[in-house]
Amino acid sequence: MLRSSGPIRWVQIFQCGQNYMKTWPNDKRLAVIFPENRITRVTRFGVRFMPPIAIFTLAWQVAMSGQLGPAITTAMIACSLPMQGLWWLGNRAVSKLPPSLNQWFQDIRGKLSEAGQVMAPLEQEPTYQNLADLLDRAFKQLDKTFLDEL
């Protein structure tokens, strides 16, 4: 869990969000249960398109000799949208799993162990990042029906 305070903690949360977004498997069966699929899709879109929209908004207002105040506000809001997604994902990544998901996590770990995969022991209660890593590994190592069997 993140222990530091101040600006370093903010940067760490954004980094955790980026890592979580990269790790979370994009599977339709998971989209029914978890909001991560929708949030990662929207965040990726925002990271890609919101900075150009912000620049266009500023350039348009400067070219039309308009007021810069509303243009700067619009640009700041456009740039903050992907940051909000990364913030949510980062906080979610370091959150501990609720008991129901913890049991599901242990069941998937057991399936991987049964399949001959070496599983490192957990040093703490599993987090959503641990779940994302485990699901990513399970989708790569097990057949695609492992979710149906749980």
| Predicted local distance difference test score (pLDDT) of residue 3 | 54
Q: Please provide the DSSP assignment of the chain as one string.
A: -----THHHHHHHHHHHHHHHHHS---HHHHTT-SHHHHHHHHHHHHHHHHHHHHHHHHHHHHTT--HHHHHHHHHHHHHHHHHHHHHHHHHHHSBPPHHHHHHHHHHHHHHHHTT---PPPSS--BHHHHHHHHHHHHHHS-TTHHHH-
HSE-CB of 75 using CA atoms within 13 angstroms: 17
Averaged pLDDT of the chain: 89
d(CA 39, CA 149) in angstroms, rounded, equals 27
Backbone angles phi, psi at 96, to 5 degrees: -75, 150
| Predicted local distance difference test score (pLDDT) of residue 90 | 97
pLDDT confidence bin for 150, thresholds 50/70/90: low
pLDDT confidence bin for 10, thresholds 50/70/90: confident
Q: What is the pLDDT of residues 50-93, one digit of tens each?
A: 999 999 988 988 888 778 888 889 899 999 999 999 999 999 99
pLDDT confidence bin for 6, thresholds 50/70/90: low
Looking at the predicted structure, is the pLDDT value of residue 7 above 70? Answer: no
Instruction: Look up tokens 């699901």; give the residue.
Output: 135
| Predicted local distance difference test score (pLDDT) of residue 137 | 92
* Mean pLDDT value of segment 35-40: 96
How many Cβ atoms are within 10 Å of 73's Cβ, its own excluded?
11
Looking at the predicted structure, is the pLDDT value of residue 36 above 60? Answer: yes
| Predicted local distance difference test score (pLDDT) of residue 4 | 52
| Predicted local distance difference test score (pLDDT) of residue 80 | 94
Structure tokens at 134: 């485990």
pTM: 0.85
